Amino acid sequence: MKRKTLGILGGGQLGRMLALAAQPLGVRVTVVDPDEHAPAQVAAEHVPLPYDDWDALDELGLSDVVTFEFENVPEDSLKRLERLRPVFPRANALRAAQDRWEEKSLFLELGISAARTLRIDTSEDAEKAFDELGPYLLKTRRLGYDGKGQIFVTDRSRAAEAHAELQGVPCVAEEKVNFQRELSVVLCRGQDGTIVSYPVVQNTHKSGILHLSLCPAPNMSPELEAKAKSLATRLAEKLDYVGVLALELFERDGELLANEFAPRVHNSGHFSIEGSVTSQFENHVRAVLGFPLGSTDPVGYSAMVNLIGDLREPAALLALPDVHLHDYGKEPRKNRKVGHVTVRAQSREELDARLAEVLAIVSAPSSASA
């Protein structure tokens, strides 16, 4: 039997968790990441070269299949890789997710509701958008993440200034959605079209960065759960998608509005390492290599708390029952995701009690968090 090999563009924490999930399957992983301290190197062969370095891409192209852990893959690099090996997810998904205008147009085409969105090319467009939308979020079409590249425009007279602050690049203006909560669906689609979905998760953000995910989301009616999954499924099928895909949603008055989708494993799916029969990372590896997918059934109730800025002393967290720490091996830095904690329990009440203890430890002031 010949063992499979997987190439990953990007060696951050997502690449690391993918590589760790690939190991028990006997899959050898190579990652390309210019960072000499790339977190994935603990579980993968690391090529420390830029994403557009032809030699690095050729090395990645020696793997059976290539995937990526971030969406801003340079266009030419993607084309080169596609000439060498199958790349999953395919380029169409990546292109749609790279550009917020294309993404919203795709939602519209598929009948997936989203915040009213206007295209902004000039400062006049930014001003006129206020007349139509009222207070809105100005977001760069490309390269935004974790709330970066976006400004909340609350006043017409500040619209042009906000656009200038974003360097006048092509943007979108999105109606400010007064949602009750944020949800996400993580699914995985195999090469044969089989789809498995994780339970819908409820997410809380702080300063635009994911803080907490609860699995399953509390108070989900079966109808809303089914609706959320059907929207993500529609997207995956339209794109003939292979691998893990995440769809972020706003719930407003019982209605679901799509915020954005990620053509990759997603932070709101990290709970699945301990909280599901098969993690999102293992299922992504299985999907892109053409293996059967694993069960996404939950293992009890779980919560995921991101560790932002710096890690805590592990002992206090590890003293709690069914609490699992993931240290990505990164240097502390303000607003940087350096790890996460998964909390698991047999009931919602038990989860809430354990989570309160974890949050008290995680949010205690730390000398290194400045």
Residue with tokens 């892109």: 288
- 63 neighbors 7 (Cβ within 8 angstroms): yes
Give the shortest CB-114-to-ligand AMP separation in angstroms.
Answer: 9
DSSP percent split of the chain into helix, strand, coil, nearest 5: 35, 30, 40
Residue 182 binds to ligand AMP (criterion: CB under 6 A): yes
Residue type, 143: L
Residue 176 binds to ligand AMP (criterion: CB under 6 A): yes
Q: Give 100 or 354: the residue with its C-beta nearer to ligand AMP.
A: 100
Structure tokens, 11:
């060696």
- The residue from 137, 305, 338, 341 that contacts ligand AMP (CB under 6 A) is 137
CA distance 207 to 216: 23
Neighbours of 42 (CB within 10 A): 13
Residue 142 binds to ligand AMP (criterion: CB under 6 A): no
Structure tokens, 314:
């592990």
Residue 174 binds to ligand AMP (criterion: CB under 6 A): yes
Residue with tokens 């207070």: 135
Q: Which of residues 243-262 bind ligand AMP (CB under 6 A)?
A: 248, 259-260
Residue 336 binds to ligand AMP (criterion: CB under 6 A): no
Residue 115 binds to ligand AMP (criterion: CB under 6 A): yes
- The residue from 61, 86, 147, 332 that contacts ligand AMP (CB under 6 A) is 147
CA distance 141 to 166: 11
Tell me which stretch binds ligand AMP (CB under 6 A): 35-43, 172-180, 184-192, 308-316. 172-180
Q: Give 33 or 260: the residue with its C-beta nearer to ligand AMP.
A: 260
Structure tokens, 114:
């989203």
Q: Give 186 or 285: the residue with its C-beta nearer to ligand AMP.
A: 186
The full length of the chain comes to 370
Q: What residues line the site for ligand AMP (CB under 6 A)?
A: 115, 137, 144, 147, 174, 176-177, 182, 205, 208, 248, 259-260
